[in-house]
Structure 1
Amino acid sequence: MSDQSYLGWPFFDAEHATLVQTLDEWAKAHLPQLTAHEHEDLDGTCRRLVTALGEAGFTRYAVPAGAGGVYEKLNVRSLCLIRETLARHNALADFAFAMQGLGSGPISLFGTEQQQQDYLADVAEGSKISAFALSEPNAGSDVAAMECRAEAEGDGFILNGTKTWISNAGIADFYTVFARTDPTLEGAKGISCFIVPADTPGFEVSERIDLVAPHPLGTLQFTDCYLPAKQLVGEQGRGFAIAMATLDVFRSTVAAAALGMARCALDATLDHIGQRDIFGGKLVDLPLVQAKVGDMALAIDSSALLVYRAAWTKDCVAERVTREAAMAKLAATESAQQVIDSAVQLHGGKGVTKGNIVESLYRDIRALRIYEGASEVQQTIIARQAIDQHKG
């Protein structure tokens, strides 16, 4: 059984521990059946996961109370705990939940009351799937290089351009899309955020992208898509700030998902080494194996401290946690990669056998070091904040 002693840390309230226990029991009872055909029917599995998470009430944590959520504003500790728990059970289930929050995040944080009622209530129920469209072929980590344009026309905007590496491409009911509305401004200025329903004329998913750990991912094409002014999220020209504020909330949850995968890898390893016969004893008896397990456990607890410091700080102390979230994501994703690699090594041949849990985790973890800001981006964020703080 996974270590849950961390739930007694001062970062959490009683309802957080109850949430984890409730979700853990639900995941054990439902996820095996829900994900049984994830490789043969990826899109269908994701839709079923969102529906099931909605029916069970867990997607309510992805939106604020005004639109059917649990808390008045997004509770990052709950989001992290849900992602950690789901990722420990199944990576695709974690993905399905995460995108409900990230895709609708700009609306939760900056949307009008009408926008929240129109979209977030369905997200909370699991009846609509959301997506977050920021990256472009030439604008991934460098958001300032964005080329997608939304030109004012009449009482709305005409959207043209391409987005790629977009999760939930092809299954989302709506997309929060970032586009440049003022081409005269350079860099991150002049970018705005829009809600684009999937049935908008001129919108299409032009490509699906297959990954080492498959989930719905693709390229979006916008050709003369007309968007009424009511589809603008927040103030025109404030899109970059909206995107960064959204990532400020959800970047810590990526770290939490990595933490859940690392916990799963350690659990599987402890089971394996306790049963594996070698040299007249068990694998667990070897000092070198114990040293590796010690490193794995240390990495997990170190990551957990950073993850839940960031989440607690966001919930209870500061409006922005760019530095804390960057540290959590960098440490947790990099450490999880090492923990899972050690798990594969200790499993020997079984560790690279298709279908083994640690083999699946080895593929699942890799993308987390890239999306929502690659590790190198997090290093840069941390360094710049440290330098600025020292100057100040």
Structure 2
Amino acid sequence: MGFESFLGNPHAVHTLRQMLANDRVPGALIFSGLEGVGKKTLALMFAKAANCERRKSGGDDFCGECPRCRKVEGMIAASREDLERRREIKDAARRVEGLVYFDVQLIEPLTRFILVEQVRRLRSAAFSHPFELPHNVFIIDSAQSIHWQATDLLLKVLEEPPPTATFILICPNASELRATIRSRCQRVRFTVVADEIIARLVGEGKAGGPPSADGKELAIRLADGSIARAKTLDLDDYRRRRQPWLDYLGALAIEPGAGPPDWDKIFEATRTLGRDRGEFEAALRVGYALAHDLIHSLLGRPERITNLDLLARLQAWSTRLGFERISRLKEGLDEAYRLQVRNTNPQMGLDALAVGAVETAPGARAGPIR
């Protein structure tokens, strides 16, 4: 147990270990980078290392087993439980009543924002001496969501942080934070996780064992460097969501002059895609990925294609569809998303898109629509 168990981003781990070894832990850090690469996990590890009983002066690691390390783990678990409980409260004003922060605390948005009262309580806890541990660590996840009225409060804390506290602000992009906040924090950048690490995680612990070589390559592309996505990715579910799009695109990408498309197949695909509104957003992401793949295929950039297991089909379809119709497909997906947001049946947008795509196809005949 220790930092060696962290996957990926060795430069970020090295930076933190150097701080610990030199006993120069800054009062505030920004962890920025892609979602799902382990920023929160490494923040928790750092909190353990800052408090570990077995870490001597000049040490740069933690044991994960001593009472303090276990205490940190328990505090984070309690923080998460409290956040979940508060999010279930319908009255937003009541969600912040009776906030109690531990020596190591996870702070996340309770609404769309991290609220003023959350930051006010954070400030109070930071300037109180730690109760059970030698060092306070406050992990602010989605720090870009701090309400603008709360940023001045946070800034006052960061200007003169107490010596017994470290603040870790987690966000996808540090530029989303106010410049005055960025200037008072040391930034630790996270990048995508290497493909070989993602490949080890794909299918880990899932029924049926690891996927085939083609499936593993597809999973690596879908994970896009994110450990979280690699661990939760279900290839069977993805292929299930993808199939209606393949039916839809295959029926549209007919040879010029080949006659009318198979409208029954097209409308069956749109019915399947629009049937469950709760799943439509996830299905739409698959559609966007295929549209981007068609563009990359047309431009001769196979290294950027996500659905690499469909390369031959994508190349044939992109040639038949052409850039204009693929661009219209992307615009149609945007419209389907807007219809879904407005609580209108998104199938209407997909049907209209199919009709328009056939009408603009060179030499194509729409034929009767039943």
TM-score by length of 2: 0.28
Higher share in strand = 1
Instruction: Please give the TM-score of this superposition, normalised by the length of structure 1.
Output: 0.27
